[in-house]
Amino acid sequence: MYNPFTSHPRVNVGETWWEHCMFSCGVGIRLFLTSMYFLAHGLFPFIEVHKKWNLECASKWLNKKNDNRRLKNVLAYESRKIKRKFPPNDFPLTKEGLKKYKKKNDIKD
């Protein structure tokens, strides 16, 4: 039976609903807080933008999250837990990145 709550996380990323919820909510909260900080800075320009909340840091954080997500997707695809990979033109996946992810998560070839 089709379940819209578990279908997308399981089919696209190889995650449970809870894992997908935690990832998505974490990204949403971080982006929301960054947005609120910039709105406050726009209204009160004397509020200095802290390094953690500046655009460069937020962009690096988001790219790192996306890279980790991509590696997790590729590993799930290779182990046949999922049927689809991220779009092939999304961004290049390096062998070093895959090795680093496997080592960090103690995944054997």
Model pLDDT, residue 66? 80
* 19-71 confidence digits (pLDDT tens): 889 999 999 999 999 999 999 999 999 988 888 888 889 888 888 888 777 77
Amino acid at 2: Y
Task: Name the residue among 59, 63, 76 with its Cα closest to residue 20.
Answer: 76
Please report, for the chain, the start and end positions of each structural domain, with discontinuous segments joined by +. Answer: 4-104
Residue 36: phi and psi, rounded to 5, are: -65, -40
Q: Which pLDDT score is estimated for 88? A: 47
The predicted-structure confidence for 61-100, as pLDDT tens digits, reads as follows 888 888 777 777 777 777 766 666 555 444 455 667 667 7
DSSP SS3 for 73 = helix
